[in-house]
Structure 1
Amino acid sequence: MKKLVTLMLAATVLAAPMAQARDDHRQPDRSRHVAVEKKVVVKKHRWSRGHRLSAAERRHMRDVRDYHRYRLSAPPRGYRWVQVDNDFLLIGITSGIISSIIAAR
């Protein structure tokens, strides 16, 4: 009889955590879930003639050396063509002032 009671007590002690773990999956999760939505802002520049570009802005632009490929005229002395997204800007090499803007297709 003592062996039977000891066996039942041991089974109860071992089965209780397993039963509780199974019940936890059935109940909705009580922990708090917070959804964070990040808003991404893409800043598009509206270029204008006479705008002075900083040296940092000019470093991030792509030089256009084969301007005939894009049907651009040859830049005058002291100017160069740069491409920013779909825009071509004719800027002064030393001053960084935009003298012409052409939107690509």
Structure 2
Amino acid sequence: MKKLILGAIAASLIATPALAAPPRHERQVVKQQPNRTVIVERGPGYRERTVIRHDRARNDRQWQRGQRFDRRYATNYRQIDYRQYRQRGLYAPPRGYQWVQSGNDAVLVAVASGLIGAVIGGIAF
């Protein structure tokens, strides 16, 4: 009889979860993009999706000569014709370069490599 009672107590202790250990939550980064990160939290019985937005001011990007131009970070991106803005300081681009708009700035970008050759700031488009 003692063996039966001890066996029942041991089985009940094994079947109950440990109260001392809190449930563990795992975080996993699912997707990273330039302006946001998607994180999935997994825990006991639920799955939560969290989106973290990296608030960068849209016109906050300061382009400098020698940097690599990435159009994802450029606001109001478009290729511009220098002849329309000649009175504001734009000149004919050298061979292999083009003028592009980023916010209120005109940026001279190498077509093949994406390197910035010149930046003329404050041109109102």
- After TM superposition, the score normalised by the length of structure 1 is 0.53
1:50: which partner in 2? 66
| Maintained 8 Å contact 2:82/2:99 | yes
Two-structure CA RMSD over aligned residues (Å): 2.2
Tell me the CA shift for residue 55 of structure 1.
6.0
Q: Which has the higher strand share?
A: 2
> Structure 1 pair 45/55, CA: closer, same or farther in 2 (3 Å)?
closer
Aligned to 2:111: 93
SS in 1 for 2:82: coil
> How far apart, CA to CA, are the structure 2 residues paired with 1:54 and 1:89?
11
- How far apart in 1 are the matches of 2:56 and 2:111? 30
Structure with max Cα Rg: 1
CA distance change for structure 1 residues 55 and 82 in 2, over 3 Å: closer, same or farther?
Answer: closer
Higher relative contact order, chain-length normalized (CA < 8 Å, sep 6+): 1
Which ranges in structure 2 are unaligned for 5 or more consecutive residues? 1-54
Unmatched tracts of structure 1, length 5 or more: 1-39
Secondary structure of 1:68's counterpart equals: helix
- Given residue 102 of structure 1, which amino acid in structure 2 is its aligned partner? I
After TM superposition, give the deviation of residue 69 of structure 1 in Å.
Answer: 1.2
Q: CA deviation at 1:98?
A: 0.4
- Provide, for residues 37-87 of structure 1, a one-character-per-residue CA deviation record: whole Å limited to 9, x for no partner: xxx6524101110001236457x72101x2111111111110000011110
CA contact (8 A) 2:71 2:77 kept: no
- The aligned length equals 64
Between structures 1 and 2, the one with greater helix share? 1
The ranges of structure 1 where at least 4 consecutive aligned residues each deviate by more than 2 angstroms after the TM superposition are 54-58
| C-alpha spacing 1:45/1:57, structure 2 compared with 1 (3 Å) | closer
Residue from 94, 102, 105 that aligns with 2:120: 102
Cross-structure match for 1:69:
84
